[in-house]
Structure 1
Amino acid sequence: MKRVGIICLILILTITQSCRKELNVPTEIKQINSVLFSTRISGENITRVSGNIWDLEDSLSIYMYESDQFSINSILPQAFNKKFIASRAGNLRPADLNESFQFPEDKEVRFLAFHPFQRGQVVTRLLDIEDQQDQSALDFLHGQSDSAHVFQQSPISLVFERIMVKLQITLSNTESSGFKATLKQVPTKATYHLPTKELSLYHVLKDIEGYVSKNSKQQTTVEWMLFPEQLPRTSQLVVQDAKGGTYTWNIGEMNLRLLAGNRYQYELSLRGGEVLPEVKTSYLEVPRIESSANLEYKFRMTPDGSKRNFSMLYDKTNRLAHWVAYPLSRDYIGSQRRTNAWSYDPLFPQNTQPFLSSGFGIPGVDRGHQLPSADRTKNFAENATTFYYTNMTAQESFLNQGLWMHLEEKIRNWTFQAAVDTMYVVTGAVVQTKEDQTIDYVMDRGQNRIARPKYYYKALAVKRGDNYYSIGFKMDNKYFPTDNNFMSHRLSVADLEELTGLTFFPGLDPSIKRTINNQIWR
């Protein structure tokens, strides 16, 4: 995949672009029933490990099969591991006439794909990442058609998921010539079973040298494509500079769990034989993301594409966002009134969202915004995004219209103080606690079960001068007297992390999250 410069979160990204010569691929295969494809890579900016544009010479394996389950027995004759070539736009064409296949006349079929292409009549791939010099070749992707198909002239859409993880380190004022970085004691081989998407690691640990380059800021970067797993405790990152100096970082002691499709980026300082790592993130508000079959992360820009809007971790089973993270500044505030543009979120299937066009229909239960409408008043389009059903929760009316609303007003007040550029906010809704794993439900107007949060929280971080400050708030989802003060519900972000099990503002030093400065938060 082509490396493009992308900024991200938990974690952020910078990839050197490459120019590659397009293979001489026929632009049209003149066969009446030939199957052609378009592609999409799932995940948003924060999770991409190598960009979302195919290199011109990228080749993929494609299989056509019948039945709901892909297996070696369900693959149709003459449709086993055909070689297709990608264009930058994501369209796939057979490498030559012999690689094309055609729709059968009497069957519904599905399609599976894998990048990169590898010749062979097998459905289990051997993955070897010991040689890191071609990062694109190690960006393994699994693609699938979304449903069964019969003959059609339009391209079949294949949606790809990333299998691998990107680890990237950046150093300023370091010569790339003569520079070497080695990741020691990590697994370098695995098998990937296409029918089950099962990745099985060979537990033989080796040392692998990273790919060294310069980024657009002329900083030395080193990259590794790694298997998703928790790094072994014995793993070390050893840096050797052009002057013969050696620096060691015991990265395994961080207990770093690498999640598929994510990039982990660190800026390193080399001092006295030690490596001093700092997490790099420009999307400071986004918590560390944990993967789950029922949870889906989405990041979105504002409708005009001018700036980031918000991101969320959405629970498709319980039909609510576990958290919504967003920046707040004067750039998001204007004279737009509340639009009340209640609607389904276009980034999620409607059958995973609550139906709330006229509320829950339950006395005392509001459609509680996680990203407040009043935090997006620049224009109609931005405000309308706060009325997506994915941004709503079943919130106690007195809380939503009382104590919680007053806290949101105070956050805007803190944001607009003269010394503040941007406030970073995470709003969360917790449906299970360590003590109580049961989930309470209410019904929406479509008779769907919607989880009712047990409590809500906000985690805030702000930079004033050269320093960052943080604070957290937690409120049970219940009635509070009108004289209750939201400041009595404050706690440190570190305590909020302990309570929720999440990591907020992963780019901040932990000491900042352990303290509350009363001069800042007053």
Structure 2
Amino acid sequence: MSIIRHKHFFLSYSEEHEQAEWAAYYLTAQSQTQRHCYDRPYFRQDPLVDTESAHWRNYKDTGYDKGHLVPAADMRFSEEAYNETFFTSNVSPQNKAFNAGVWNRLEQKVRYWADKYSALFVVTGGILEDDLITIGEEEVSVPEYFFKIVVRVQNDSLVMIPFLIPNAESDAPLYTFATTIDTIEQITGINFNQKLVERIEEKIKKELSYKEWSFS
């Protein structure tokens, strides 16, 4: 895995699966007040990935969307930031109904939380494991599940809500996909506490705390 640091987000690229194992960024209420409309660019390979990120042609005629990990809609405060989200290192094969449905609902909820709580730290990725089906000549893995971890500060402590959602159509309420950080760490083998968050109290790490978040 190689850590790629763009100006507005960073990610860990998996050459084996030809996509990021996770991508992370900050989202603030202030950035959401500066939303602009930019022309949608073409997807292009990430110049910072030494092994070259997968080409967009791998997705052609597969029935899968090029699903953003860092949403383009979260980066409308800057054309540079918006365009960065169209590197192919920032996309993963997503079921069309999933991408346009439950995943889109979660992305909208994250923007709502950014407005409500002022600032968030967000980590997103597909569950990359052995024996996944693949698409394209470069054999881009198709995750069966996607995760999103949303972190905010409350009373000088960090509160997080992790989600684990099947890569399939669903009308279920978002809170039903809330899980624990331990579950995400066990499935992915990634220690997010160590890698991405400097300090998380043990009680926050262990508890299922979706009731701390507003879903209305």
CA contact (8 A) 2:2 2:13 kept: yes
Q: In structure 1, what is the equivalent of residue 143 of structure 2?
A: 453
Q: TM-score with structure 1 length normalisation?
A: 0.38
1:344 to 34, 45, 66: 45
**Alpha-carbon distance, 1:466 to partner:** 2.4
**For the residues of structure 1 that align with 2:57 and 2:31, how far apart are their CA atoms?**
25
**For the residues of structure 2 that align with 1:500 and 1:357, how far apart are their CA atoms?**
27
Q: In structure 2, what is the equivalent of residue 392 of structure 1?
A: 91
**Alpha-carbon distance, 1:360 to partner:** 2.6
Q: In structure 1, what is the equivalent of residue 133 of structure 2?
A: 440
Flag the 1:501–1:448 CA change in 2: closer, same or farther, 3 A: closer
Q: Letter of the aligned partner of 2:71 in structure 1?
A: P
Q: Letter of the aligned partner of 2:203 in structure 1?
A: S
User: How many residue pairs were aligned?
Assistant: 208
Once the two structures are superposed, residues 486-514 of structure 1 have per-residue CA deviations (whole angstroms, 9 ceiling, x without a partner) of 21111122332233222224321222111
1:509 aligns with 2:210: no
Q: In structure 1, what is the equivalent of residue 166 of structure 2?
A: 476
**Alpha-carbon distance, 1:358 to partner:** 9.2
Once the two structures are superposed, residues 341-366 of structure 1 have per-residue CA deviations (whole angstroms, 9 ceiling, x without a partner) of 222212114x6322216953222x10
Q: Letter of the aligned partner of 2:183 in structure 1?
A: D
1:315 aligns with 2:14: yes
CA contact (8 A) 1:331 1:378 kept: no
CA contact (8 A) 2:59 2:135 kept: no
Q: Letter of the aligned partner of 1:394 in structure 2?
A: P
**Alpha-carbon distance, 1:462 to partner:** 0.5
Larger radius of gyration: 1
Runs of at least 5 residues in structure 1 that lack an aligned partner in the other structure: 1-294, 302-308
1:368 to 49, 67, 87: 67
Flag the 1:403–1:485 CA change in 2: closer, same or farther, 3 A: same
Point out the structure with the larger helix share: 2
Q: In structure 1, what is the equivalent of residue 118 of structure 2?
A: 421
**For the residues of structure 2 that align with 1:389 and 1:439, how far apart are their CA atoms?**
19
**For the residues of structure 1 that align with 2:86 and 2:149, how far apart are their CA atoms?**
22
Once the two structures are superposed, residues 450-472 of structure 1 have per-residue CA deviations (whole angstroms, 9 ceiling, x without a partner) of 11112100111100232321111
**For the residues of structure 2 that align with 1:465 and 1:484, how far apart are their CA atoms?**
31
**Alpha-carbon distance, 1:396 to partner:** 0.5
Q: Letter of the aligned partner of 1:343 in structure 2?
A: R
Runs of at least 5 residues in structure 2 that lack an aligned partner in the other structure: none
**For the residues of structure 2 that align with 1:454 and 1:383, how far apart are their CA atoms?**
27
Q: In structure 1, what is the equivalent of residue 109 of structure 2?
A: 410
Aligned residue for 2:121, secondary structure, equals strand
Compare relative contact order (CA 8 Å, sep 6+) and give the higher one, 1 or 2: 2
Q: In structure 1, what is the equivalent of residue 128 of structure 2?
A: 431
CA contact (8 A) 2:25 2:70 kept: yes
Q: In structure 2, what is the equivalent of residue 300 of structure 1?
A: 6
Q: In structure 2, what is the equivalent of residue 487 of structure 1?
A: 175
**For the residues of structure 1 that align with 2:150 and 2:159, how far apart are their CA atoms?**
8
CA contact (8 A) 2:126 2:147 kept: yes
**Alpha-carbon distance, 1:517 to partner:** 5.0
**For the residues of structure 1 that align with 2:60 and 2:173, how far apart are their CA atoms?**
28
**For the residues of structure 1 that align with 2:150 and 2:28, how far apart are their CA atoms?**
13
**For the residues of structure 1 that align with 2:46 and 2:145, how far apart are their CA atoms?**
24
Flag the 1:339–1:514 CA change in 2: closer, same or farther, 3 A: farther
Point out the structure with the larger strand share: 1
Q: In structure 2, what is the equivalent of residue 38 of structure 1?
A: none
1:518 to 201, 211, 216: 211
**Alpha-carbon distance, 1:370 to partner:** 0.2
